Homo-oligomer: A and B are copies of this chain.
């Protein structure tokens, strides 16, 4: 029998997803230079949970189910069997959203997903019905969203963001242009608070205007909110979903940062009314359960029980129970901003933004911040960062070529400071002041 040989270009385009390839490159560099300080890693800090917590979370959740009146057999079945497609945490998550965010949604509007990534795939798949349907997305954009769209064959139309996040007027203009071109802008994806990768946040007034623009443009909004707990101050920034009186927002949530990533539990909230051919009404989250069942059947109920136990212990308030995490990330972000000021304050060629919270800062640098330069930085200077070009189509174009994303979420504070010191040495040696990038130094 002859042996199969497949050609990569004969596989689906998503196999060669440029953003994913960029991220793989980053991971390879990190693996090759393990002593380099990773100002590139956007993952949460390791120190908040241990495997000793797992059994306690399970027992807490089983006791919670017992309190709800489930028999021993029902509890066993709920954790070990196949289960409800949309999951079991709707009540706890709805309560959490009310307590923490003032979001009022019925339990049945919540779908538990295998991480927030699956929630994105499900929302995109359900909403985009045909080839004319496109999704608008903030640019620079989280690579998971653009990749999910590529997987499904859905076109993404970028909406460039400003220093204050998305400008509603720009959204309206892009939506109009898409419609004028004969396509339907079905939804808009953004991270309104402490965005990944840009660190920007939308002012409250702009959030309200964005909801008006979405209504006029017939757009739904996909609000991704993984970092909302981690503001630098205690100012409450209402989510778009909290301001959403017209059920225009599908809210995408993650427990990777508020609980831990290894559970792979996220959720979506979709309380939009869907009218069937016979006039029957359901909620969008219920309609999307078919899509969920075709992807992963249901989210592991053991994983759900871990997060359920965590939520029960937290009294369904991540803001109250997560103060240690919030304090850690605040301290790290302040350390990063202080270190940038100390090491680059006198350098007019380096400028950076000052996020109000979250995990990420973007710096413009006087050099071409590409893969080759990243490798040099890792090997010769012991510091890793993320080329911003990765978030503009995977580094295939020119945008973001002289900007880098710096993250402070996964590191001890002392390493953040040392990382910036190494970055300063790298930039001092490698800067090309005679070759300003598109737009030049600010």
A248 surroundings in chain B (CB, below 8 A): 1, 4
Stretch at the interface among A224-232, A283-291, A311-319, A400-408: A283-291
**A82 touching B287, Cβ below 8 Å:** no
Is A64 among interface residues, defined by CB-CB distance under 8 A? Answer: no
Q: Is the CB of B14 within 8 A of A294?
A: yes
Minimum Cβ distance to chain B for residue A217 (Å): 12
A7 to B218, CA, bound (A): 13
Query: Is B80 within 8 A of A13, CB to CB?
Result: no
For residue A163, CB closer than 8 A to chain B, the reply is no
A17 to B290 alpha-carbon distance, docked (Å) = 7
Interface residues of A in 280-313 (CB under 8 A from B): 284, 287-288, 290-291, 293-303, 306
Bound Cα distance A21, B277 (Å): 14
* Set of chain B residues within 8 Å of A76, measured between Cβ atoms: 46, 50-51
CA–CA, A81 and B45, complex, Å: 9
Assess the B54–A274 pair: CB atoms within 8 A.
no
In this assembly, does A211 line the interface, its C-beta being within 8 Å of a C-beta of chain B?
A: yes
State which of B114, B212, B294, B301 has its C-beta within 8 Å of the C-beta of A148.
Answer: B294
- C-alpha spacing A272/B8, complex, angstroms: 11
Question: B275 touching A6 by the CB < 8 A rule?
Answer: yes
Query: For the complex, what is the distance from the CA of A275 to the CA of B4, rounded to whole Å?
Result: 11
**Interface pair B274/A7, CB less than 8 Å apart:** yes
Size of A's binding interface in residues, CB under 8 A: 95
Assess the A297–B147 pair: CB atoms within 8 A.
no
* Contact assessment for B296 and A264 in the assembled complex, using a CB-CB cutoff below 8 Å: yes
Instruction: Give the residues from 218 to 250 in chain A that come closer than 8 angstroms, CB to CB, to chain B.
Output: 220, 245-248
Closest B-chain residue to A299, C-beta based? B264
Contact (Cβ within 8 A) A302 B1: no
Q: Is A335 an interface residue (CB 8 A)?
A: no
Binds B, one of A122-130, A168-176, A351-359, A385-393: A122-130
Q: In the complex, are the beta carbons of A246 and B3 less than 8 A apart?
A: yes
Question: A144 within 8 Å of B by Cβ?
Answer: yes
Question: From residue 19 to 49 of chain A, which have CB atoms closer than 8 A to chain B?
Answer: 20-21, 23-24, 43-44, 46, 49
Give the residues from 58 to 92 in chain A that come closer than 8 angstroms, CB to CB, to chain B: 58, 62, 73, 75-77, 79-83
**A263 contact set on B, CB distance < 8 A:** 300, 302
Q: A20-B290, A262-B300, A295-B295 are in contact. List 20 more A-B contacts (CB 8 A).
A: A1-B215, A2-B246, A3-B247, A4-B272, A4-B273, A6-B284, A9-B277, A11-B127, A14-B126, A17-B294, A23-B293, A51-B80, A54-B79, A79-B262, A83-B262, A144-B297, A264-B296, A264-B297, A264-B303, A265-B300
23 pairs from A and B in contact (CB 8 Å cutoff)? A1-B215, A11-B274, A12-B129, A15-B287, A43-B81, A46-B76, A50-B80, A51-B79, A54-B58, A54-B302, A82-B262, A114-B114, A115-B297, A117-B293, A117-B294, A125-B151, A147-B293, A151-B295, A264-B297, A265-B300, A295-B296, A300-B303, A302-B306
